[in-house]
Structure 1
Amino acid sequence: MNVLMISAKFPYPATRGGTEIRTFYCLEALKAEHHVTLLTFREDYVTDAEVEALQAHVDELVVFDAPQNAAPGLAAKLNRLAGFVTTGTPPNIHYYYSDAVQAWVDEAIAQNRFDAITCEHSVNALYIRPEWKEKVRTVINVHSSDYCTKRSNLDLGITDNVWRDRLTLPLLRRYESDTYRKFTTVAVTTADDETQIQEMVAGLHSVIIPNGVDLEEFSFRTTEPAGRQLIFTGTFDYSVNIDTALYL
């Protein structure tokens, strides 16, 4: 198949964070069986060498300049919050929206260039039109649900802005529910995520694609090396990281 992968995050090298890691290895898996076009944004920190290296992992690489940083300050934050309330689109989603990218994707679909589209993370879902489900397979790879994460943080009492999160939580649920309905298939990382998303949209077609470890790079050890310490890093307002740290 001819597959279009849309990723707001530049997924190379696969060491910058969880989003980049999952995206890159999903890309590698798709490339093994299909013709893959990757559409992505280039941040200022991405080098020419990294762009050239990523090109070797896809059949076609389409790169747009990343949007400018959001304006700082309380007034700008309140304006973004008001925009979320009135439009229903979260600020972090709207931040990555580009008319040029939308035009490129619209033209590609009109020309029947692709058999399937995959969106890495929900920030890319804004480019997908609901009616496309009838002509092309659309998949959203939900690395993590912002709604489920925010709800968990509120339940755990670890949010840094309770009133804002309580105000936007139902808006976020509505946005994600409407987003998932646009897609043929929703991919999630865990069974818990699948259950929570199915609660939002009953009857949704979903698949679990778990995160894992590259066993070629991190091979199995027959004995545990002595005198070593394990350092675990992560964002500890995320329940999965908390559970992992407690398990370790």
Structure 2
Amino acid sequence: MEILYLAHRLPYPPNKGEKIRSFHQIRHLARNHTLHLVSFIDRQEDFQHVDALRKYCATVDAVYRRPFRSLFRCMWSLASGVPLTLGYFKSQEILGRVQDLIKLYEIDRIMVFSSCMVQYVMDYSGIPKVVDLVDVDSEKWTKYSEYKPFPLSWLYALEGNRLRRYEKAILEGFAHCVVVSEREATLCHRIVPEKTVSVIPNGVDIEYYQPSPNGGQPSTLVFTGAMDYFPNVDGMIYFCREIFPKIQKRVPQVKLYIVGRDPKGSIKELGKIKGIVVTGEVDDVRPYLHAASVCVVPLRIACGIQNKILEAMAMGLPVVATPSAIQGICAVPDRDLFVEGSPEKFAGRVTSLLMDEDLRRHISGTARRLVERNYSWDHPLQHLERLLEISG
């Protein structure tokens, strides 16, 4: 089949949540089908990665999303009543590329990654379409509103309501809709009860993420993630203010590495605290995971499946997470990882792991085995391929 694939961010390098998922979809589908990729690019330096995708795609059209224009279009959206997200990702150039590809090639299927890209193909009724919503974005923005002061709380709640109406139109208009977890599917059913929604979970590259043969450095914690992403920023500020000091009282030599691109000013400030290192963007997160004794994932706001947890578990790194962070992951608490809700219990669990090498070694083995059994990419992506084939 000839498949037109739309993505809101260039799916390379696969170094953050949605880019990991979209890259693996493209790589899998390219085995048996011809792909035409249309994607935004967030940063000028990412143009160097376009050629890497030509290995999998017959054509690659990448369009730079200019931040100032995106913000201007957000303001237009606010006044016009459409979701701000659509304005942020609105582009006549992308629309033109999509129209040209549909004219030039016999497109058999349209695969849309993320709801914000649906606007470019919503009106095409003659070509079967499948959308991967990944998460239910309306729920995410509504959650954000609970953690922000006015007027942002009002603005985010408004965006949540607008996106919910837009998601309803998507669910009613697409042949098949895909999400990353059962929780997200339940949220979709609340919007359109009769809609069949397929759950295709994330996987992890277990060959790439291998356990360290030597174990981590004593008393070393790690958190990985894009550090301009609000849930990650909120989670780290919460951890460093409410939990880390409690760990330091019992393990004074403890060090925390916050690893991820584009740290906000509030995250950089955390690097001034004794024992905390903010790395910024790194070429490879694996050395930091190898060096750690425990991975902490203290997210208070979370949607879908957290790749950072799967990657840490694949590397045999014990994980301590909040209940929100483990949604969608079929791990057994106290066997495969640890789940703690309060700052006191979270700090206590991390401390006990730092002080108990045998416990860390035991959890390391069970975590790795869980990922090997349940989180290969092949099986879920075969399901996606079947959905595309039957959608006609």
The TM-score range, normalised by the shorter chain, is: 0.7 to 0.9
Identity %: 21
SS in structure 2 opposite 1:231? strand
Aligned residues: 236
Runs of 5+ unmatched residues, structure 2: 226-231, 236-299, 307-321, 327-337, 341-392
Residues 132-164 of structure 1: CA distance to partner in whole angstroms, max 9, x if unpaired? 2xx22211111222211123345xx32342222
Q: Determine the C-alpha separation between the residues in 1 that align with 2:109 and 2:39.
A: 16
Q: Which has the larger radius of gyration?
A: 2
In the TM superposition, what are the counterparts of 1:47-58 in structure 2 within 5 Å?
A: 47-58=46-57
Change (3 A) 1:32 1:8: same
**Letter aligned with residue 214 of structure 1:** D
Which residue of the partner structure matches residue 38 of structure 1?
37
Q: Determine the C-alpha separation between the residues in 2 that align with 1:168 and 1:98.
A: 20
**Letter aligned with residue 181 of structure 2:** T
Which residue of the partner structure matches residue 158 of structure 1?
147
1:167 matched to 2:158? The reply is yes
CA drift of 1:238 comes to 2.4
Residues 97-135 of structure 1: CA distance to partner in whole angstroms, max 9, x if unpaired? 222322332343356621111111112111012452xx2
Which residue of the partner structure matches residue 97 of structure 1?
90
SS in structure 2 opposite 1:187? strand
- Partners of 1:118 and 1:139 within 8 A in 2: yes
Change (3 A) 1:64 1:180: same
1:21 matched to 2:11? The reply is no
- Partners of 1:143 and 1:188 within 8 A in 2: yes
1:244 matched to 2:328? The reply is no
**Letter aligned with residue 115 of structure 1:** D
CA RMSD in angstroms, aligned pairs only: 2.9
Change (3 A) 1:33 1:64: same
Which residue of the partner structure matches residue 359 of structure 2?
none
Q: Determine the C-alpha separation between the residues in 2 that align with 1:239 and 1:64.
A: 29
In the TM superposition, what are the counterparts of 1:1-248 in structure 2 within 5 Å?
A: 1-15=1-15, 17-70=16-69, 80=74, 83-84=77-78, 86-88=80-82, 90-110=83-103, 113-132=106-125, 135-154=126-145, 157-160=146-149, 161-219=152-210, 225=215, 227=217, 229-234=220-225, 235=232, 236=235, 238-240=301-303, 242=322, 243-244=324-325, 247=339
Change (3 A) 1:99 1:230: same
Residues 19-70 of structure 1: CA distance to partner in whole angstroms, max 9, x if unpaired? 2111111111111221111111234433554222222232221222323424
Change (3 A) 1:43 1:165: closer
**Letter aligned with residue 94 of structure 1:** G
SS in structure 1 opposite 2:68? coil
Q: Determine the C-alpha separation between the residues in 2 that align with 1:167 and 1:139.
A: 27
Q: Determine the C-alpha separation between the residues in 1 that align with 2:194 and 2:214.
A: 45
CA drift of 1:201 comes to 1.5
Q: Which moved more, 1:18-27 or 1:166-175?
A: 166-175
- Partners of 1:180 and 1:201 within 8 A in 2: yes
Residues 63-109 of structure 1: CA distance to partner in whole angstroms, max 9, x if unpaired? 2232342477xxx6xx9456335332x22321222223223323433
Q: Determine the C-alpha separation between the residues in 1 that align with 2:67 and 2:160.
A: 26
Runs of 5+ unmatched residues, structure 1: none
Residues 196-234 of structure 1: CA distance to partner in whole angstroms, max 9, x if unpaired? 01111222232111112111112468x993645441334
**Letter aligned with residue 127 of structure 1:** Y
Change (3 A) 1:38 1:112: closer
